[in-house]
Amino acid sequence: MAAFHSPSTASSGMVLLLLIGFSMAAFAYGNFYHKFDVVWGDGRAVIQEGGDLLTLSLDKTSGSGFQSKDEYLYGKIDMQLKLVPGNSAGTVTAYYLSSKGDAWDEIDFEFLGNLSGQPYILHTNVFCQGKGNREQQFYLWFDPTADFHTYSILWNPERIVFSVDGIPIREFKNLEFLGVPFPKNQKMRLYSTLWNADDWATRGGLEKTDWSQAPFKASYRNFNADACVWSSGSSYCSSNKNAWFWEELNFAKKGQMKWVQNNYMVYNYCEDTKRFPQGLPTECTFADIL
């Protein structure tokens, strides 16, 4: 039998410090009680498991939603979601950054529900000064209802990148020098809602919500914001800001994004000439060559 040796006082102290540090990190980045406010739903949004899990639900009476306590001006935001399973036609799970006012900025993930056996559509959009119309839509290469997957927004002065499980699916570059507005001055909160949109969400509104399947439920965990937090009129950034503040897509990441767009994109406003008979938006012409 091996002899048992008690750890030294120094070793015990180091272990204790590591455990405290890990606990503080988990508290800072993962706890929904301390990072979010439930703002809508009359009890349909529920924080569980000591703050590690949040669920939204939708029934015929109401949906539900939450928002971040902090406001951000640039950042890298990660959240794991598990979407409404089964027949979710007519439902929308929205996960987005947004400012306030009539000329708001917004960066959108929206998950459009489906009939059982049909794929979800991931809808993305970027609003600048209250103007959107920059939609790109994708199918996913996995079942987003079977397990949690990570959906990320990178927002820095040069670009916005939408990613799924670390794979970039879309990039919106800062092309202000060409007259294209870019969100850079307005602080934004993170929001998520689960709501009924059966007038348009599934096959353009042809498929209505089947309320016999209610309540519909989406789940969230492992929130992380490595971001510049707005406070008292200024933004305060984490010490490792440079890891994302000037981040750009390398050759491998560009290849991943091309793979997604070639195989899973189902709508791109930059290819919709009927919608823009006077010519496609400026960024559609220049984004890929700059």
List, in order, residues 6 or more apart from 97 with CB less than 8 Å away: 72, 77, 106, 107, 153, 155, 188, 189, 190, 191
Structure tokens at 94: 């929205």
List, in order, residues 6 or more apart from 236 with CB less than 8 Å away: 228, 229, 230
Task: Report CA dihedral (277, 130, 152, 175) to the nearest 10 degrees.
Answer: 60
* Catalytic residue annotation: 106, 110
Nearest Cα to Cα of residue 32 among 59, 16, 14, 55: 55
Nearest Cα to Cα of residue 173 among 186, 185, 189, 184: 184
Phi, psi of 71 (to 5 degrees): -110, 145
Can you spell out the DSSP letters for 167-204? Answer: EEEEEEE--GGGT-----SS-BEEEEEEEE-TTTTTGG
Structure tokens at 77: 């935001």
Query: What are the CA-CA distances from residue 170 to residues 35, 71, 111, 121, 153 (Å)?
Result: 27, 23, 15, 14, 10
Q: How far apart are CA 260 and CA 258, in angstroms?
A: 5
Q: How far apart are CA 93 and CA 45, in angstroms?
A: 13
